[in-house]
Amino acid sequence: MSEPDPESGTTSPIDEEALAEAYNRALALEKAGDLDAAAAAYREVLALDPADHGGAAVRLASMGRGETPARASEAYVATLFDQHAGAFESILVDQLGYDVPALTRRALDEVAPGPFSRMLDLGCGTGLAGEILRDIADHITGIDLSETMIEVTDEKEVYDALYVGDAVDFLHHADVEPFDLITATDVLPYLGDLDAFFAGAAELSVDGAVLAFSSETLPDEVLAGRAFMVGPHQRFAHSESYLAEMLARHGFAGLAIGGIVVRHEMGKPVPGHLVIARRKPAD
């Protein structure tokens, strides 16, 4: 692994051995409950690997020992889901009861049944949303940071176009026709600040396009007035009022917004929101 050096433009190799030692030490200290020492070790990890393949920044934030980052690093998300792609559906769907693509289909059927000409599935993962929405979308594009997840999706032959890359970057820079359905099921937990996400969704959608997404949340007393924070499992939780603010700011009208159980974690339901919104015509 190597890291680009911003000054010289060259790459300097990461000291993998030192990185593994610091990361394992940090994890062990965190597990033992010595959070201050764990935080110091995670800071060492970040210094050795500024691109943050191990997600040290979200771990620091989840322990209450670091600033809330604006999002999970690209390197972390790609590494995490590359590792889990093979077992993703058996773990998330079969063991953790993840059902958001089906909930999205049901909600769309109720408030915005389509059909749609061009669907964009952001953070498509293994293609569960594409599979369940295939019959109401003529053309489906998927994008995901994890190349291995995209490979699994590709084998299913459900999507018409697939890209490996960052969803927010795609929304702002992709040279493609706009979409009339944009989905993002269980992707917001890897994005904290959603301003660029919603601005991009507005940019790459036609008037009247439908935006369907899910989020995770935490009780009001934990969020304590924050728009978003990193929760105990290193994923971002967003407040419902922040989602509503983002929709309004970027020209989307909410068609349905409701509480859901996103999945189970250690036997407990993980609460979230499912939102279906429509882009208002541009002024």
Cβ distance to ligand SAM smaller for residue 44 or 186: 186
Distance in Å, CB of 166 to ligand SAM, minimum:
4
| Binding-site string for ligand SAM from residue 189 to residue 218, where x marks contact by CB under 6 A and - marks none | -xx---------------------------
Which of 56, 77, 103, 277 touches ligand SAM by CB under 6 A? 77
Which of 49, 52, 166, 180 touches ligand SAM by CB under 6 A? 166
Distance in Å, CB of 235 to ligand SAM, minimum:
9
Report how far residue 77's alpha carbon sits from residue 19's, in angstroms, rounded to the nearest whole number: 18
Q: 24 and 38 in contact (C-beta within 8 Å)?
A: no
Report how far residue 46's alpha carbon sits from residue 273's, in angstroms, rounded to the nearest whole number: 32
Query: Which of these segments, 25-33, 141-149, 203-211, 275-283, binds ligand SAM (CB under 6 A)?
Result: 141-149
Report how far residue 218's alpha carbon sits from residue 273's, in angstroms, rounded to the nearest whole number: 10
Cβ distance to ligand SAM smaller for residue 62 or 146: 146
Place of tokens 């060259």: 10
Query: Which of these segments, 43-51, 120-128, 223-231, 267-275, binds ligand SAM (CB under 6 A)?
Result: 120-128
Report how far residue 233's alpha carbon sits from residue 21's, in angstroms, rounded to the nearest whole number: 22
Report how far residue 47's alpha carbon sits from residue 190's, in angstroms, rounded to the nearest whole number: 22
Distance in Å, CB of 107 to ligand SAM, minimum:
14
Provide the token pair at 240: 């419902």
Which of 26, 56, 75, 128 touches ligand SAM by CB under 6 A? 128
Sign of the Cα pseudo-torsion (132, 80, 120, 248, in order):
positive
Task: Report in angstroms the alpha-carbon separations of 167 from 55, 130, 188.
Answer: 18, 16, 11
Report how far residue 44's alpha carbon sits from residue 18's, in angstroms, rounded to the nearest whole number: 9
Count residues contacting ligand SAM (CB under 6 A)? 22
Distance in Å, CB of 279 to ligand SAM, minimum:
20
Instruction: Assess 247 for contact with ligand SAM (CB under 6 A).
Output: no
- 3-state secondary structure labels for all residues of 182-194: EEECCCHHHECCC
Distance in Å, CB of 97 to ligand SAM, minimum:
13
Which of 38, 39, 167, 230 touches ligand SAM by CB under 6 A? 167
Task: Report in angstroms the alpha-carbon separations of 49 from 2, 8, 57.
Answer: 9, 17, 11
What residues contact 283, with CB distance under 8 A and at least 6 apart? none
Instruction: Assess 180 for contact with ligand SAM (CB under 6 A).
Output: no
**What residues make contact with ligand SAM under the rule CB under 6 A?**
77, 81, 100-101, 123-125, 128-129, 143-146, 149, 166-168, 185-187, 190-191
